[in-house]
A and B are shown apart, each in its own frame.
Chain A
Amino acid sequence: MRSTSTGAVVAAFSALAVGSDFALAPYVNVKLMDTIVFLVAFLFGLRAGAGVAIVSETAWSFVSPWGVAGWITPFLVGGELIFAVAGWWASRTWRDKAGSWGTHALFIGASMLVCAFLWDLETNAATALLAYWPTLTLGKLLLTEGFGLPFALIHEAADFLLGMVAAPAAILMIPKTRYVNK
Chain B
Amino acid sequence: MATKEVLYGVIVVLLAALIASSSAAAFYYAQYGQEASEAARDMGMARSMMSRYGVVMTSNLLVDFGNGTRHWYNGTRIEPGWNLYTETLAATNGDVNATCCAYGSHFVTGIGGVQGTAGGTKSWSIWTFNRTSSWQEANVGVDEIGVSNNSVYAWMFCSYDPVTYAPLCSP
Interface residues of A (CB under 8 A from B): 93-94, 97-99, 103-104, 106-107, 109-111, 113-114, 117, 146, 149-150, 152-153, 156-157, 160
Q: Report the Cα distance A107→B10, complex, angstroms.
A: 8
Judged by DSSP, the binding face of B is helix
Q: What's the interface size class on B, roughly?
A: 10 to 19
Closest to B2 in A: A97
Report if B24 contacts A (CB, 8 A): yes
Report if B8 contacts A (CB, 8 A): yes
Q: Do residues A111 and B12 form an inter-chain contact, with CB atoms below 8 A?
A: yes
Report if B23 contacts A (CB, 8 A): yes
Q: Do residues A93 and B8 form an inter-chain contact, with CB atoms below 8 A?
A: yes
Q: Do residues B12 and A114 form an inter-chain contact, with CB atoms below 8 A?
A: yes
CB distance from B113 to the nearest CB of A (A): 65
Judged by DSSP, the binding face of A is helix
Q: Do residues A149 and B27 form an inter-chain contact, with CB atoms below 8 A?
A: yes
Q: Do residues A153 and B27 form an inter-chain contact, with CB atoms below 8 A?
A: yes
Mask: chain B, 45-70; 1 = CB below 8 Å from A; 0 = not = 00000000000000000000000000
Report if B94 contacts A (CB, 8 A): no
Q: Do residues A106 and B15 form an inter-chain contact, with CB atoms below 8 A?
A: no
Contacts of A146 on B, CB cut-off 8 Å?
A: 26, 30
Contacts of A94 on B, CB cut-off 8 Å?
A: 5, 8-9
Contacts of B19 on A, CB cut-off 8 Å?
A: 113-114, 117, 156
CB distance from B124 to the nearest CB of A (A): 59
Q: Do residues A97 and B26 form an inter-chain contact, with CB atoms below 8 A?
A: no
With known contacts A103-B9, A107-B9, A153-B27, A98–B2 Cβ distance under 8 A: yes
CB distance from A85 to the nearest CB of B (A): 13
Contacts of A110 on B, CB cut-off 8 Å?
A: 9, 12-13, 15-17
Contacts of B166 on A, CB cut-off 8 Å?
A: none
Contacts of A114 on B, CB cut-off 8 Å?
A: 12, 15-16, 19
Mask: chain B, 20-42; 1 = CB below 8 Å from A; 0 = not = 10011011001000000000000
Q: Report the Cα distance A28→B87, complex, angstroms.
A: 55
Q: Do residues A153 and B23 form an inter-chain contact, with CB atoms below 8 A?
A: yes
Q: Do residues B23 and A117 form an inter-chain contact, with CB atoms below 8 A?
A: yes
Q: Do residues B30 and A149 form an inter-chain contact, with CB atoms below 8 A?
A: yes
Contacts of B15 on A, CB cut-off 8 Å?
A: 110, 114
